Structure 1
Amino acid sequence: MKKYTIQNAPFVVPTTDGKIIKEHFGLATDKNSQLSIAYMEAPSGWSEPFQTPEFDEFTFIIKGKKQFIIEGETVILETGQSIKIEKNTKVQYSNPFDEVCEYIAICTPAFSIDLVNREAK
Structure 2
Amino acid sequence: MTKKKYTLQNNPFVVPTNDGKVIKEHFGIPTTGNTDMSLAYMTAPSGWSEPFQTPEFDEYTFIIKGQKQFIIDGETVILKAGESIKIEKNTRVQYSNPFSEACEYISICTPAFSIDLVNRED
Superposition TM-score, scaled by structure 1 size? 0.99
The within-5 A match list for 1:1-121 is 1-120=3-122
Q: Deviations over 1:33-70 (max 9, x none)?
A: 00000000000000000000000000000000000000
Q: RMSD over aligned Cα, in angstroms?
A: 0.2
Q: Identical aligned pairs, as a percentage?
A: 79
**Displaced runs of 4+ in structure 1, greater than 2 A?**
none
User: Any unmatched runs of 5+ in structure 2?
Assistant: none
Q: Using the alignment, how far apart are the partners of 2:94 and 2:85 within structure 1?
A: 14
Q: Which amino acid aligns with 2:40?
A: A
Q: CA deviation at 1:100?
A: 0.4
Superposition TM-score, scaled by structure 2 size? 0.98
Q: Using the alignment, how far apart are the partners of 1:17 and 1:114 within structure 2?
A: 19
